[in-house]
Amino acid sequence: MRLNSRYQVSNAIIYIVLTATALLMLLPFLHIVAGSFSSGKALITGKVGLLPVEFNLQNYKAVLNNKPIWRSFGVTIYITVIGTFLNLVFTGLMAYGLSKPHLKWRKTIMLLVLFTMIFQAPLIPSYLLIKNLGMLNSLWALMVPGLIGAFNLIIMISFFRNFPEGLLESAKIDGCGEYQTLWRIVVPLSMPSISTIGLFYAVGHWNSWANALMFIRKNELFPLQILLRRLIVESDAEQMMRSAAVNLQSLEGIKAACIMVATVPILIIYPMIQKHFVKGAMLGSVKG
């Protein structure tokens, strides 16, 4: 009974700590949501807490009527979809090859991969490389440099190593080559792991702004996060308000609405693959 009581107490403490931590992360988000639906006067006077005050849609009207926002939104969607697809293809091909024990120079390649995790490429050499490749002011500069993430590669290698050898040998007996085995057997059965890695890559692309800040100079190629940074850090929201003919007191409200526009899409995608997330993350770390 004592052991059971201790177990219940420890579980209760864990639940309390986790709930408190979740609330600490959730409350600022709820404040942003409330601010995005509140009037400028309510925001300036500090009346907005976790619920909207003087509910209105003027902030979203200013954001959604702004053409640069839609253009940047399209750029970000393009980068996220195409970039994630390329990431999964190249990471999967490399991981499948490195998961084979008989691959020549396999250990050397793995050491080089680990080296890139510890030592990041310096800023100036990275810029010069992108410039010499002719990718400045190109969306390729936002996708190619991070084509294969070392951390994601290692997770996928670990998953492929745990793949049943008997199944792969049966495929070879049936006449399948390496590529046929990969695309017809390994990939369909690896969807939990692929979904997890895909989510990591997609979130990275959606939130990325550093590469765009370095490599992009054309306004029409700015992703959403760069535009959001300019609105919040450089206070470019005033120009948006003037173009939308809304009250100047809505400055903070427009910033909150921009944050929501940039955040909601990725929040919608996550529940769709949530069932694969935990399973995929564990499959690559536990010996099957």
Residue 108 lies in a domain: yes
Residue 26 lies in a domain: no
Residue 195 lies in a domain: yes
Which sign, positive or negative, has the C-alpha torsion 235, 227, 67, 130? positive
Residue 276 lies in a domain: yes
Residue 238 lies in a domain: yes
Q: Which domain holds residue 273?
A: 57-283
| Residue 147: DSSP 8-state | S
pTM score, whole prediction: 0.77
Residue 51 lies in a domain: no
Residue 37 lies in a domain: no
237, with CB counted inside 10 A (0-12, 13-18, 19+), is buried
Tens-level pLDDT at each residue, the chain (288 residues): 455 677 777 888 889 999 999 888 888 888 888 888 887 778 777 788 888 888 888 888 878 887 888 888 889 999 999 999 999 999 988 888 888 878 888 888 888 888 888 887 788 888 888 888 888 888 898 898 888 888 888 888 888 887 777 777 777 777 777 777 778 788 887 787 788 888 889 888 988 888 888 898 888 888 888 887 777 665 555 555 555 444 444 677 778 888 888 888 877 777 766 666 555 555 544 444
Report the 10 Å Cβ neighbour count for 51: 12
> Where are the alpha helices (H) located in the chain, listed in sequence order?
2-36, 40-44, 58-64, 67-98, 106-118, 123-132, 150-161, 165-173, 178-181, 187-189, 191-207, 210-215, 224-232, 237-244, 251-272, 274-283
Count of domains forming the chain: 1
- Here the CATH number for the domain that contains residue 215 is 1.10.3720.10
pLDDT per residue over 132-148, tens digit each?
888 888 889 889 888 88
CA-atom Rg of the chain in angstroms: 24
